[in-house]
């Protein structure tokens, strides 16, 4: 089943959308650059999630699913034409935030005790260059993720409230998660090494749905329909016992 789902995901993200964009030689804009870059990255994440699910590594799959969802929702925020802020400004906000995060990482590396002197000099020069670029971007940094999601349409907020928060268990396993990896067999406790309260088909369905929504957001921005994709997803989700596509 995972192979069939992954083939469909790659068809949506790559063949039907990414390859169509490259074939039509879309204009060189920031939005198109984001679209062209995120599609193969999302395809890679989906492939890794499916392979982990096939091996019954559900917690690592949930960790990657959360990364995929966050990436997808940020792209959707950028491409959403219903908001007051235009797409270019939102991409610049994301870019500014990305530079600040990279700068902080480099600063930590430069101040670390293990950094060689020549590395520190290289880091400091890169930090100075980043500071100049950051200073030239007048947009505010991208809002905190929770605030960003509030600006998105209802279905995206639902993804955040339900799937994104559930997938947190894969990144920050707490005591309840650890307890969920142990089963009682008679009078003995047996460790199964992974969470058993989450079904494989649920993770497969979530991954499929995230890929669908991302492909549809990109295609909608390009002015293309995605009804055929939604119909294809409906068939698979019904087989998995998942929700209807909306």
For 28, the 3-state DSSP assignment is: coil
Closest by CA position to 57, among listed 203, 174, 155, 175:
203
pLDDT at 125 over 70: yes
pLDDT at 146 over 90: no
Both tokens assigned to 12: 């949506």
Q: Any idea what the Cα angle at residue 56 is, between residues 55 and 62, rounded to 5°?
A: 110
pLDDT, tens only, 55-65? 999 999 999 99
- Model confidence band, residue 161 (pLDDT cutoffs 50, 70, 90): confident
Neighbours of 30 (CB within 10 A): 16
Q: Any idea what the Cα angle at residue 237 is, between residues 72 and 45, rounded to 5°?
A: 35
Distance of alpha carbon 216 from alpha carbon 226, whole angstroms: 6
pLDDT at 127 over 90: yes
Both tokens assigned to 138: 């007048």
Radius of gyration of the chain (CA): 21
């Amino acid at each position: 089943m995972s192979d069939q789902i992954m083939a469909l995901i790659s068809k949506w993200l790559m063949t039907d959308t990414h390859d169509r964009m490259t074939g039509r030689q879309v204009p060189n804009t920031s939005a198109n650059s984001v679209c062209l870059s995120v599609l193969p990255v999302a395809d890679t994440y989906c492939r890794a999630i499916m392979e982990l699910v096939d091996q019954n590594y559900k917690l690592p799959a949930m960790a990657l699913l959360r990364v995929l969802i966050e990436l997808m929702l940020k792209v959707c925020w950028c491409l959403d034409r219903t908001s007051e802020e235009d797409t270019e400004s939102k991409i610049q906000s994301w870019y500014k935030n990305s530079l600040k995060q990279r700068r902080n990482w480099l600063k930590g590396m430069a101040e670390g005790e293990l950094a060689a002197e020549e590395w520190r000099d290289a880091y400091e020069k890169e930090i100075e260059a980043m500071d100049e670029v950051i200073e030239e971007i007048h947009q505010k940094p991208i809002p905190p993720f929770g605030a960003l999601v509030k600006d998105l349409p209802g279905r995206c907020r639902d993804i955040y409230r339900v799937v994104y928060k559930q997938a947190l268990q894969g990144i920050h396993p707490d005591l309840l998660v650890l307890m969920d990896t142990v089963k009682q067999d008679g009078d003995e406790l047996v460790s199964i090494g992974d969470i058993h309260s989450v079904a494989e088909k649920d993770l497969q369905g979530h991954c499929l749905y995230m890929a669908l929504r991302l492909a549809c957001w990109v295609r909608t921005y390009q002015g293309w329909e995605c009804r055929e994709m939604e119909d294809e997803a409906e068939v698979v989700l019904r087989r998995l016992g998942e929700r209807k596509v909306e």
